[in-house]
Amino acid sequence: MNISSKNRCFLVTCMLVVFLLGALSIDCLCQTRAKTHIDIPDIPGYITMKCDFHMHTVFSDGSVWPQIRAEEAWRQGLDAFSITDHIEYQPHKDDVITNHYKPYEIARPAAEALQVLIIPGGEITRSEPIGHHNAIFLTDINALDTPDSTIAIRNAAEQGGFVFWNHPGWKQPDGKAVWFPIQSEIYDQGWLHGIEVVNGASYYPNAHAWCLEKKLTMMCSSDVHGPINLDYDIYNGQHRPMTLVFVKRKTENELKKALFDRRTAVYYNNILIGEEKYLEPLFNASVEILNPKIVIEGNSRVVVQISNTSDVSYELVADGETEGISIPNSLTLHAHKTVRCTIRRTSETLSGTKRIRMKYKVTNLLVAPEEGLSVELPLRITFVR
């Protein structure tokens, strides 16, 4: 049948529409109100929690009521979040009564109902060079409200809080992070546990390197002040910057333990930053060659299909020669897609079945500043004359 028959189409559709009417009409749960999962896989031995530990509300200089942070976290697939209103900076104080506990107290029932973990926290907001620090897992937020900056950080650390340095390049020349003596002072005392390698749209390569050298935890935060959808186009696949935390179980205690144990990765835009021991299993849990057993007859080209079930589109560039076969110089493994590439033999003398690994660098998985993760995609090729 080539030309569609309108009459038939009409009747049939009518029937179905009438039948479906009940369901369609009552539904008040539109798609914007659903939860979108973040497809970053778990890795062997760990569950991958998606977390944002830096955000504000009307109780400091933010512009949403605390409950909204729980709602946003749920819809965007976060497992845990922390409201960290400025302890010292309250520009709305003529209208909103200062109370360091209120954001947590207001947001907690909403978070609990939605089964998202909420971690009590606050932002110690001092001038450079000491700068801003978030402290989370606090039991006494008011202890941070003290004149001396160093004492405030000590008080946070001594109550078991996890303390991390925020946006370390802010207000520095060219936005580049600088490690001042005051940072050494805090660090040497053991009061500093992490640094924001990414805050909002900003990546700090220096901070990235310091986390590796000084054994600090890599953090990634939105630092969102307004409604988050004003900053990120969530319904078109954008996501907020977040810290991935690799935990044994999804509990507050295990989350805290993992943070102190430096089991994190940074996830912002289409980039992951972290240690090889976390990024490699994340890649491997996302990517699969669908036809790893291949037969190459003579000089024919053969199609290799590679699937990627994660939200991250991996950008690969060939890392040196792959023995025996020619592979693409570059490959994009699109999120939630299968891509194909063609390979063929480069050596005339090969025969029999060989295990061959296609060697690539993943340029958007950073194991150090400007250094992509090395990966190998395994094939088992039978060469036939």
CB of 10 to its own copies, least distance (A): 5
- The amino acid sitting at 155 is N
Identify whether the C-beta of residue 126 lies closer than 8 Å to the C-beta of residue 152: yes
Q: Decide: is 315 part of the binding site for its own copies (CB under 8 A).
A: yes
Options 225, 239, 240, 263; binder of its own copies; rule CB under 8 A: 225
Q: Decide: is 22 part of the binding site for its own copies (CB under 8 A).
A: yes
Q: Decide: is 229 part of the binding site for its own copies (CB under 8 A).
A: yes
Residue (2 or 139) nearer to its own copies, CB: 2
Map residues 285-314 to x or -, x wherever contact with its own copies holds by CB under 8 A: -----xx----------xx-x-x-------
CB of 130 to its own copies, least distance (A): 14
- Cα distance between residue 217 and residue 80, in whole Å: 17
Q: What DSSP string runs through 331-351?
A: EEE-TTEEEEEEEEE--TT--
Residues 178-207 interacting with its own copies (rule: CB under 8 A): 199-205
Compute the chain's Rg from CA coordinates: 25
Q: Decide: is 132 part of the binding site for its own copies (CB under 8 A).
A: yes
Residue (212 or 303) nearer to its own copies, CB: 303
Residues 137-156 interacting with its own copies (rule: CB under 8 A): none
CB of 275 to its own copies, least distance (A): 18
Q: What DSSP string runs through 283-321?
A: HHHHEEES--EEEEETT--EEEEEEE-SSS-EEEEE-SP
- Cα distance between residue 207 and residue 178, in whole Å: 9
Residues 29-68 interacting with its own copies (rule: CB under 8 A): 29-37, 58-59, 61-65, 67-68
User: Three-class SS of residue 139?
Assistant: coil
CB of 8 to its own copies, least distance (A): 2
Q: Which residues contact 21 (CB under 8 A, 6 or more apart)?
A: none
